[in-house]
Structure 1
Amino acid sequence: MRRISYTFLISLTSFFSFGQQININPSIINFHLGNPGASENQTITITNNSAELQAFEINLGDWTRTETGSHQYFAPNTQPYSCASWVRLNKNFIELKPGEMEEIVVTLQAPENPEALEKMKWAMVFIQGATLKKPEANGPQEIKTFINEIVRVGVHLYQTPFNLSKQAIKAVSLNPSKDEKNTFDFMIENDGNVMTMVKAHVELTNITTGEELVAPNADFPLFPYGKRIIKLDLPKDIKPGKYSLLAIADYGDSNPLEAIEKVIEIK
């Protein structure tokens, strides 16, 4: 018998619904432990709104964002920023009948070492569900196929000690994109010690006419000491001419703007 397995990994922003049949909430869990040995419990709720029995495995992993914003996944406790070893789950497997709901208790226990609480840490709780289909035969002499369809959901887990608050964003570089016309790669670095939400956009001023154009914002989170390259598109209706291009990174009303300016020519 041959088994074919399909895996889909989905990272969430608020909650996730398997076609409105399976709800998982929340998608982000924030802890703020600042004292050695301290602990805190939070919960993930899984609801089965389908008409079938559903089974789920729950486990931990490490992850990070690349400079382009994609996710990379690793085995738990393998990355220097990981707090996976601090986490206990009260269950690693559940079955839910139609209409049932169950809570997974996530406990974060800070180590006794004070140095471990000097930096932000993070991990991910994976919830994996499987629907098994019956073997199918294409003919009396043909191999049967056993299809295992898997959906794996990632719930982000952040541990930010309450005494960490430094926000410091730096605009590093601004260069034309090599693979996209009228697009610029804006590199931003987080020199702070907490994850920071950043808004980036471009403002253009036609050097001859004085006409001003503003492109839409790009919003994104940036881990401490991480870098991110944001692609900023110029307005589609931009006219030929020379422009002063200003790429701006905004990370809160109380923080100064970071920007890089260039003179460009649109032909």
Structure 2
Amino acid sequence: MGRTICRILSVVALGIGLATIPSQALLISNIEFDLALPRGASETLAFQVLNNEADPLEIQISVADWDRDITGENRFYPPGTLPRSLAPWLSVSPLRFDLTPNEQKEIRFSIKIPSEITGTYWAAIMVEAAPKQTQPQPPGTTVVVRRRFAVKVLETPPGTGTKDGRISLLDVRGLNPPNIFIEFENRGTVHTPEVKGRIEIRDEKGATLEKLDVESFPTLPGAKRLLKITSARKKGDLLPPGKYLILAILDYGGESLAGGQFVLKIKPLQLVPIGDAKAPPQDLDKDGFYEDINADDKLSLEDAALLGLNIDKPAVQENARAFDFDNDGDADFDDVVTLKKMAGG
């Protein structure tokens, strides 16, 4: 007797309108509902699912909880898992059906809003598609790939909930070019669909050296989002030693803006010979990284080996930015691996 193994590929389309995923031609007419129904209200809504493939599909519908991790990636859970789950108030129909090529089906869902809730609640309607098995399968193992799409449903009763946000972290990790990490925390009870703002780099005199846009991102109540914003400066165009103010301002739609600042201190390099080298390391291509560790006027695997033997020594750690080849803010064995690759290893 044969076995069927089911593999699920999760896909979340973002935006509103006719949505499709390249090479996976299941079309969904509306993949996010951001509702503002009054407390105690009931509503029935719908979206369309179209099979734009050449073969028939089996469709299964279910309800799930979801949120985002700190990088913004979606995570899914059984319905009712999260404290602000909308799943208990959702009913969906139909739950299972087939679609022939170019056939379209309406999915209807009803929502009943409790009278006592405040703030945003959310869930997802999962649309799972797999090729319809029209022929008997031969003996052995059959692998079926099921594609799973999420239609997000968010509900915020008008006039309820609070908007509150703050910048909970601001840091610089890597200087060539500067990588600025900013963490925003949604401390309110409503979702913030568009958090956006800017970052400024200022010198000791207060002059603005660079302005960087923080592109719009969403957050759910109680969630944090960590962003990496990289300076537009080219590699090798280094900030001179000194003090700099990193200023961040985010608009999350509340009564006030969220702000944060970080003082960046860049010390002058004090390079000395590393290990048994006869001279200090050299920056052969003038890009701000000192790849010639043994100072023999060329880049080779010997440089990576010497750096690896001395990675924890003061000669390296007190000048870490010179050897931060992966530009993540420190000098460690990841930089040894990066230097080895640079040398052709």
TM-score (norm. length: structure 2): 0.67
Unmatched tracts of structure 1, length 5 or more: 138-142
* Structure 1 residue 236: Cα displacement: 3.5
Unmatched tracts of structure 2, length 5 or more: 267-320, 322-345
Amino acid at match of 2:44: N
Segments ≥4 residues shifted beyond 4 Å: 132-137
Q: How does 1:119-134 map to 2 (within 5 A)?
A: 119-131=119-131
Q: How does 1:27-46 map to 2 (within 5 A)?
A: 27-36=31-40, 38-46=41-49
Q: How does 1:159-178 map to 2 (within 5 A)?
A: 159-164=155-160, 166-177=162-173
Contact 1:168–1:190 (8 Å) recurs in 2: yes
Q: Does 1:156 align with 2:159?
A: no
Amino acid at match of 1:49: N
| SS of alignment partner, residue 85 of structure 1 | helix
Partner of 2:221: 224
* Structure 1 residue 78: Cα displacement: 2.0
Match of 2:143 among 138, 141, 147: 147
Distance 1:35 1:234 in 2: 46
* Structure 1 residue 208: Cα displacement: 6.5
Encode CA deviations 1:89-121: one digit per residue, 9 max, x unaligned: 12101212222211101110123xx33x22311
More displaced 10-residue stretch of structure 1: 78-87 or 225-234: 225-234
Distance 2:183 2:154 in 1: 24
Encode CA deviations 1:231-256: one digit per residue, 9 max, x unaligned: 2222332532243211221224x743
**Greater RCO (CA < 8 Å, at least 6 residues apart):** 1
More displaced 10-residue stretch of structure 1: 152-161 or 169-178: 169-178
Q: Does 1:107 align with 2:104?
A: no
**Bigger fraction of residues in strand:** 1
Which structure is larger by alpha-carbon Rg, 1 or 2? Answer: 2
Partner of 1:261: 261
Amino acid at match of 1:264: L
Q: How does 1:52-201 map to 2 (within 5 A)?
A: 52-111=55-114, 114-115=115-116, 117-131=117-131, 144-164=140-160, 166-177=162-173, 182-196=178-192, 197-201=194-198
| SS of alignment partner, residue 88 of structure 2 | helix
Contact 2:212–2:231 (8 Å) recurs in 1: yes
Distance 1:232 1:149 in 2: 36
**Bigger fraction of residues in helix:** 2
Distance 2:177 2:74 in 1: 26
Partner of 2:297: none
TM-score (norm. length: structure 1): 0.84
| SS of alignment partner, residue 128 of structure 2 | strand
Contact 1:198–1:251 (8 Å) recurs in 2: yes
CA RMSD of aligned residues (A): 2.7
Contact 2:177–2:231 (8 Å) recurs in 1: no
Instruction: State the identity %.
Output: 25
Distance 2:180 2:7 in 1: 36
Contact 1:6–1:150 (8 Å) recurs in 2: yes
